[in-house]
Amino acid sequence: MNASAERLVILDLCRRLHAKNFLAAADGNVSARLSNGEILITPSARNKSFIGVDDLARITIENDVLEGSPSGERLLHLAVYRRCPNARVVVHAHPPTAIAWSVARPHLRELPRDALSEVILAVGSIPIAPYAEPGTTKLVESIESLLPDHRAIILARHGAVAWGESAEEAYNGMERLEHTALILKDAEALGGITNLDRAEVERLLAARLRMNGRTL
């Protein structure tokens, strides 16, 4: 896909994320890796539902700015691209319920996986990276051990990051993450989270292995 088409893909993702309440004000950022290895990324300090194609920035994998004013979270995106050769699109958003889990349960290291077959089949698990200040190398360090095995990660008290081999897969990761968080929240309110039996979990995990790690 050429750079012009990728710019439109990024804008479409921004609008979808905003419509789902995954972004507010100037939060979040979206990027795409071009065929020449350069990275297109949303601009710093802008509401993503208002930006146009000319507002997007262009950087190298070494973090050299080639065009525009790139997001202050670009280190997070670059870390994903460096550690995940198959990554073509990265989405960083602030899904409210997923973040709320990390606030209410600060010692939780992943969303309860064994309660929902879709979590196991679609993403394997949804880890929660420990808190780190946004825009810093500490934030990068907080997710490094989770890459490339995980494609949807909650960033404690901050947001979430999802990557994919396509724009649809990256978006699916963010949507799956928040949808799971909502279901688990409702289950807690209705009396508590229960798990599938171990044999069923093992069957689902075996099925997940046949999906080559992709997010559904």
pLDDT band with cut points at 50, 70 and 90 for residue 3: confident
Q: Six-digit token pair at 112?
A: 């309860």
pLDDT band with cut points at 50, 70 and 90 for residue 4: confident
Q: Six-digit token pair at 196?
A: 């599938």
According to CATH, the topology of domain 3-209 is L-fuculose-1-phosphate Aldolase (3.40.225)
What is 103-142 written as a DSSP string?
A: HH-TT--B---TT-HHHHHHTS--BEEPP--TTSHHHHHH
pLDDT digits (tens, 9 = 90+) for 159-214: 999 999 999 999 999 999 999 999 999 999 999 999 999 999 999 999 999 988 99
The domains of the chain are located at: 3-209
Q: What is the pLDDT, as a whole number, of residue 2?
A: 63
In angstroms, rounded to a whole number, what is the distance separating the alpha carbons of residues 175 and 23? 12
Cβ partners under 8 Å of residue 3, min gap 6: 34, 40, 58
Q: Is the pLDDT of residue 1 over 60?
A: no
For residue 93, give the H/E element and its range: strand 89-93
